[in-house]
Structure 1
Amino acid sequence: MAPLIGYWNVRGNLESIILTLKQAKVSFKVRRYKLGDAPDFDKSDWLNEKYKLGLDYPNVPYYIDGDIKITQTLAILRYLARKHDLGPRNDAEAIRSDIVEQGIFEMMNSLWTATHVETDQEFEKCRPGFETYLVEKLAHTANVLGSNKFVLGDRVTYVDFLLYTTLDYIRLFKPSSIDPHANLKSYLDRIEALPEINKYYKSEGFSRFPITYEIAKWGNLEKNAPF
Structure 2
Amino acid sequence: MAASDLKDVKLYYFSKVKDSTTMGRGEPLRLLLEDAGVNYEYVRLTADQWKEKKAELIKEGVPGPTMPYITVNGKHYAKTVPAMRFIAKKLGKYLGENDDEEHLLDAYADFSGDWTTRWATTLFRGSDEDKKVYAETTFPQTLDTVEQMLSKSSGPYLLGERITYVDFLIFHQLDDDNQAKVDSQTHPRLAAFVEAIKNRPSLQKHFNSLKQ
Q: Is the helix fraction higher in 1 or 2?
A: 2
Where in structure 1 are there 5+ consecutive unaligned residues? 35-42, 209-227
1:65-214 matched pairs, under 5 angstroms = 65-84=72-91, 85-117=93-125, 122-131=126-135, 132-146=137-151, 147-172=154-179, 175=181, 180-203=186-209, 206=210
Aligned residues: 193
SS at the partner of 2:161? coil
Larger relative contact order (CA 8 Å, sep ≥ 6): 1
Q: Is 1:15–1:165's contact at 8 Å kept on the other side of the alignment?
A: yes
Once residues 65 and 197 of structure 2 are traced to their aligned partners in structure 1, the CA distance between those partners, rounded to angstroms, is 31
Q: Which whole-Å deviations, capped at 9, do the CAs of 1:20-42 have from their partners, x for residues lacking one?
A: 001110011111112xxxxxxxx
* Counterpart in the other structure of 1:214: none
% same residue:
23
The normalised TM-score by structure 2 is 0.83
List 4+ stretches of structure 1 deviating above 6 A. Answer: 176-179
**Residue identity in the other structure for 1:186:** A
**What RMSD, in angstroms, separates the aligned Cα atoms of the two structures?**
2.0
1:123-161 CA distances to partner (integer Å, 9 max, x unpaired)?
Answer: 422112212111212111101101421111110111111
Distance 1:135 1:65, change over 3 A: same
Show structure 2 runs of 5+ residues with no match: 1-6, 17-21
Distance in 2 between residues matched to 1:185 and 1:20, nearest whole Å: 20
Question: Retained in 2: the 8 A contact 1:6–1:61?
Answer: yes
- Contact 1:168–1:188 (CA<8 Å) still a contact in 2? no
Q: TM-score, normalised by structure 1?
A: 0.78
